[in-house]
A and B are shown apart, each in its own frame.
Chain A
């Protein structure tokens, strides 16, 4: 395991992920993305570039969309994180964003999708009625190599409308 590193500099962290409290010992240099994927086995968060450009590893950290490959696990101590596994309201349900992505064919290989979902979740929380230009701007930090973005933009518009309907 990554956390069996012989390095003396380890930290005990307490972190809430998708509403579940975890207490773990982690090495100082362990990336938050690796911690989520390989220590907590929440592999839905994907890693595309490990240098903060592609956005695939985006998670919501205390309500803000962040790139988990640019953070250390130790920095998450005392914080709350939502990953793609925590987006849907229940096991056989989809969040309106997830449902809209399916409806509009907003994903192909699906590798960038978790990052797109988390970025757009935080975006729609702040901007419930975005126009296309705003969506494209907010989406521009997430690289997708399959879709050409058009169906993702349509999905975000649909999700925004659905979310406005359900919480007026």
Chain B
């Protein structure tokens, strides 16, 4: 009998390499004759290019080539639309995608104008200063409301009023619901999300091997297969001639999936043209402009309630900043629109958004991918409703939760995966109960808070609910193979950025094949090892690729049993696979190792039977019909210093349901990291643009990522409601930690500072000490 690996807190297979400095990251690739690239980037947000003179740069010692848009010739083209707009009736979508090097016009600070290739990175950067650029500045489109006003400048000359998209989705009849409501609350809410800021910036190394006619790319991408296919098409190569390797990648969180970044278009082309390997590594300053962000939305939202606090309907109209181009389609605002509905019964919903082009870097999904914005709106509206209806904050949420017997629950609008937004399974009330219990909700409000307030301390509590659509299609695949050394090899097409894939996929395969987790070797992100796949996004790796690994391992298990039954001349039912061998149950000494069977499955003589294949190998694919919906509740007790407005989180609780758990240790890590990013978003991180579209805080000294002092200890608990949409019953967990932190902070800080008495509402994220000072002092004191 072997212990089941699935569900156990197995230590990670990948750690030894990472801990000893032996893991390969893109910037670790060293090749003979390597050239280094540097990009000259626009220093104005909006302008017409009059001229770019690269003569002096080309003449500099050590510079091999300098390219502008003109040098790219027919290769120059706007990038593809990664995600087309969903099939929603009446939709407007104006596709304007980024270009490899700006031609005619620049549309955001940091947009690349020229690329220098030199013998060292130092020399390449020196040569940037030799390039003379003449740009006629144009008024920058920065503010969302001004952008859509009739008289604004236009980011794209042929797109009037800067409207990138206009989408309305509705369910039921909001107007009728409003007419029946006892209470209607309307507010303007602003939610700004920031830069994902992985500690490894982006990078690419390209090598053209003229003898093999093959291009090899090492890239910090979350989607190596799409990158391979796209590059092959652009360069006129067959896919077989292009190998993309996403080695160890130092964090991604969404922006590393954007395709195609200009550097990914220019560097492979130049490597082939010059027949020299080329490396480009983004520096931190560039990262703030050249890698995509998530940013702001302004919501005008209204909630209609019955007297008992039940939601009758919600209406929301919002503006979404999509930046200078929209290659990622509508994923972010659609997620906002859908996730606003949360774990609640909202029978009538009317939501309209306008995505707006601005002269700021491109917006694509960053951990949470717009879900935060929607959750902030509904959670804040419920907080205000609770206050106005004099219902407890937890109670008003409880009254509106979707009941257990209502699943699968169809929200009747279209989600980012183009299917109906239907929640596969869920059991929300126990999550809320557990969170209230762990944070000590009743005790805090009844005893702790009054006692601490009497001591002059400003302490408050918050509680926020959310759902997370995860594990969407289209599909992933896996190839599982028993090697002749007895170890198991698993290859999959997704990339990995720290999620523990080398371990969780190994756990899944190990259970089916009766081997140790350490005897399963996982390969991810190498297109020569696995041909097909979509990528790592939308909390889908474990769900979609994990189930593909499971299917392939099951198929290999069948092959093992069949071959071993032939070997022992017994029935398959009499066999057991454990400890790397197949044995006949109840017959000691009758065992054959998996490695020996693998050799036997690939014979040198004799015939492979018709209808069978050599080897103990199988490739299987898994594509879920729609996403699996995870859910959770975060609760927090915070203390605020009323002089400095600095915070101390006294308690932080996460209760989370992501279905069946593969590895609780890795899951805890995912939640911890998500919460830390949520805390950064809620109170420390903000991309500050001035009216000219200049980003004023593009350094890690000014854009404040939370440190070990800002991120508190977290208590985590789980409930388990398996997903019916996949055999393993799992749901994604990657983004859950980050999603509800903004409204939680706003609610707890309001409580701590007793802002209701001052008639101050915190209707925006991020907050900060400065912003709290402004918001709490700008309002005239309550005349009581």
Contacts and interface: CB of A to CB of B under 8 A. Distances in A.
A51 B703 CA distance: 13
Contact of B283 (A2, A50, A85, A153): A50
Given A6-B62, A108-B669, A145 B251 contact: yes
Interface stretch (B120-128, B144-152, B205-213, B376-384): B120-128
A109 B19 CA distance: 11
Interface in A145-167: 145-153
A29 interface: yes
Contacts of B20: 44, 84-85, 87-88, 94, 98
Interface string B115-141: 000011111000000000000000000
Contacts of A148: 669, 671-676, 711, 714, 737
A5 B684 CA distance: 41
A105 to B, nearest CB: 5
B587 interface: no
B23 interface: yes
A102 B12 CA distance: 7
A109 B708 contact: no
Nearest to B705: A143
B669 A147 contact: yes
Chain A binding surface, main DSSP class: loop
B42 interface: no
A139 B500 contact: no
Interface in B662-710: 665-666, 668-669, 671-677, 699-701, 705, 707-709
A6 B61 contact: yes
Interface residues of A, number: 64
B251 A51 contact: no
Residue of B22, B500, B708 contacting most chain A CB atoms (<10 Å): B708
Contacts of B201: 48
Contacts of B528: none
Contact of B199 (A54, A132, A136, A139): A54
Contacts of A151: 668-669, 672
A104 to B, nearest CB: 8
A46 interface: yes
A25 interface: no
A50 B284 contact: yes
B30 A38 contact: yes
Nearest to B281: A47
B519 interface: no
A41 B29 CA distance: 10
A149 B708 contact: yes
B94 interface: no
Interface string A42-57: 1111111111011010
B705 to A, nearest CB: 5
Contacts of A2: 120-122
Given A4-B119, A147-B673, A151-B672, A85 B21 contact: yes
B497 A109 contact: yes
Contacts of B250: 46, 48, 109-112
Interface in B1-34: 11-12, 14-16, 18-23, 25, 27-28, 30
A43 B676 CA distance: 28
Interface string A39-83: 001111111111101101000000000000000000000000001
B200 interface: yes
B251 A109 contact: yes
B354 interface: no
B445 to A, nearest CB: 27
Interface in B324-370: none
Contacts of B701: 51, 53
A50 B283 CA distance: 7
Contacts of A50: 283-284
A1 B120 contact: yes
B466 interface: no
Shortest Cβ-Cβ A-B pairs, 6 listed: A44-B21, A111-B250, A109-B498, A110-B18, A148-B672, A108-B498
Interface of A: 1-2, 4-6, 27, 29-30, 34, 37-38, 41-51, 53-54, 56, 83-85, 87-88, 94, 98, 101-103, 105, 107-114, 117, 132, 135-137, 139-153
16 contacts: A5-B120, A45-B21, A48-B250, A83-B21, A85-B21, A102-B11, A108-B498, A109-B251, A110-B498, A111-B498, A112-B199, A136-B708, A147-B672, A148-B671, A148-B676, A149-B711
